[in-house]
Structure 1
Amino acid sequence: MDDKGLLCLLLGLIILCSLLTGMSEAEETHVFSSSGENVALPCINALSNCTSTTWNYNKHRSSGTVELIAGGLKKKNIERAERLSLGSDCSLNIYKITEEDHGLYICLQYVNGQKHGTDEPIFLHVLHVYPSSTQTKMRSGSSVTLTCQLFSYEDSCSLVRPDDLQLFWVNQADVNLHEDSRYQKLSSGQCIRTLTTTFQNEDNNTKWRCLVKKKNENKTSASYTVKFTKPTKTDTVTAVTTINTERRTTLNSPVTAIQHSQGT
């Protein structure tokens, strides 16, 4: 083979590799959502009426495959069956998702027992914030640690490519809180962001959001709303009881008793 033929062969291989790489990226879909939301996972290779559709699920490579939908019908003997349904376009609907729903979902088509078309892998990433905004005793002067975590297949965000993914806390004006000296940034990995701060009076009824961006495009967010707890009657009674106890202790002290004796 001459130099010109070798050059053509190399160029052909380069073009083929780029085409295969492009196909691989197109076939792989990433869906981002937050805890409590409803999500619909698309079945790109679906056939008409969905009777050929099968949905499989994997949380980890080692956890084994769970069949969620077979022949267009939902499996009833599986966990979270009540939160799953099949859409008219063969998409998989998941209601009120939790962090436990993250993982790899694959839509398959079987015609007369034979696999039809290619697999369509979908990676579901679930954002979860804790503690919840319903925690008690939230008052000015108390501290809180805010944590948001993106749960992904194999418990790793590397599938999304680290350079493409951003995860950070913002305030109501979308200002990055990790750059504010008021908030102490704790060490965290790519899939988790943690802040610690002390509540101030103006924080009441404010909302902080954990934001996920991919290639500078907003994908999903989860919020933490600050609502200060009002003093209850129990708190008032406790304060009065403490004051009365202190007064009784003073009246019964040895010094008081001596002064009373000298007066008589």
Structure 2
Amino acid sequence: MDEIKRIKMSLHLLLVLIPFTVLAAQYSFIIVRAGAEVTLPCDNVRDDHVNCGATTWFFSDSEWTRSVDLFVNRQLDTSLISKSKEDRLRLAANCSLVIREVTAEDAGQYTCRQFDLTTQTYEDHVVYLSVVNMTEQKRTDEVTLSCSVSPYGRCDLTVKWLYMNIDVTEDNTELKTSQSSCSANVSFSKSHSVYKMKNYSSLTCKVKDGDKEEKFAFIPPSSEGQNKPAPGNNEMTTAWWWYIRLVVGFATIVIMVVILIRWRRNKIQGGDDAVIFSTVEAASSSTGPSADPSSLYANVTIIQ
């Protein structure tokens, strides 16, 4: 480990001391929802740079703070970044930077720098990352949805709410909207169809950065993760339940047909046979119901 640190420090000092000349710079603008995973591209990777050996990723969260190193010579530099961010970063095979579970603290300027030690030049790919956060606030008879954006530096973005893909305007009598720097709110009564039918997908937040535009549908917190069993629990999936219901229903029909045939035969023959049948059952265990359809059974008893 100490040897790796020494190599990393030596390379870093080499890159600092040698007067490199910038050849070109590319720019990307990415807008992503908080909680998502994002891949920041590094499109200027040279073919002769094996395993991103001459690649440096660094980050600045505003125009007034200095940049901090993220990756140098494939190694993550943890000296100036938080532990929470450290655990969410990785370098992809093509030298792109991957950030998991994006948060507002990740917004900022990311630079992928490719060095050429032979010509003492470098190329930059600069990525400006903006993070969208959406919240819901309920009052007695009104609901307010907020859409705010964490940008890099001064906010030059436009944030608006759309209903059915149409801008919500200030003269809308059912949907009230307000805007401020890098954020927008929309409010509606609980009698509105959006709330009564839980049709939140009809409301989207539009974020525009120059020519780039992204739309984000509002997802109520209560709907996130629905129908997903917790890890390690023995609940069966919805598909399995439907399959078992189908088997149970079919078995019930078979039993009823047997009873009907036996009853008609007794009627014709004048017999007094009685038919007793049990309901369809599934074998159980201490771990809960079995998902194996072969465990289902039914009993039919004919008393003569």
TM-score class, shorter-chain normalisation, is 0.5 to 0.7
2:41 and 2:68 map into 1 onto residues whose CA distance is 18
* Partner residue in 1 for 2:162: 170
Distance 2:129 2:219 in 1: 22
Q: Counterpart in 2 of 1:61?
A: 63
RMSD between superposed Cα atoms in Å: 3.0
Q: Distance in 2 between matches of 1:119 and 1:215?
A: 21
Residue 102 of structure 2 is aligned with which of 97, 104, 117? 97
1:76 aligns with 2:44: no
Give the match for residue 173 of structure 2: 181
Q: Distance in 1 between matches of 2:89 and 2:119?
A: 25
Aligned length: 190
Letter in 2 for 1:167: V
The 5 Å alignment of 1:1-264 reads 27-47=26-46, 48=49, 49-77=51-79, 78-79=81-82, 80-112=85-117, 116-131=121-136, 142-154=141-153, 156-158=154-156, 166-171=158-163, 173-178=164-169, 180-189=172-181, 191-200=182-191, 202=193, 203-204=195-196, 205-207=198-200, 208-213=203-208, 218-225=213-220
Give the residue type in structure 2 aligned to 1:148: C
User: SS of the counterpart of 2:169?
Assistant: helix
In structure 1, C-alpha distance between the alignment counterparts of 2:36 and 2:221, rounded to whole Å = 21
Q: What whole-Å deviation, never above 9, does each CA across 1:62-100 have from its counterpart, x for those lacking one?
A: 222111110122223432111000111100000110111
Query: 1:196 is aligned with what amino acid?
Result: S
Are 1:109 and 1:115, in contact at CA under 8 Å, matched by a contact in 2?
A: no
Highest relative contact order (Cα 8 Å, sep 6+), 1 or 2? Answer: 1
TM-score, length-scaled by structure 1: 0.62
Q: Which has the higher helix share?
A: 1
Per-residue displacement from partner, 1:135-193 (whole Å, max 9, x unpaired)?
Answer: 6xx58x62232221121111x232xxxxxx5421123x22323352222223423x211
Contact 2:39–2:99 (CA<8 Å) still a contact in 1? Answer: yes
Aligned amino acid, residue 186 of structure 1: S
**Does structure 2 conserve the Cα–Cα contact (< 8 Å) formed by 1:206 and 1:225?**
no
Deviations 1:105-155 (A, max 9, x none): 111123459863222211111111123xxx6xx58x62232221121111x
The TM-score with structure 2 as length reference comes to: 0.55
CA contact (8 A) 1:45 1:117 kept: no
Q: Which runs of 5+ in 1 are unaligned?
A: 1-22, 159-164, 229-264
Stretches of structure 2 that go unaligned for 5 or more consecutive residues are 1-22, 224-304
Counterpart of 1:145, as a letter, is T
User: What residue number does 1:238 align with?
Assistant: none
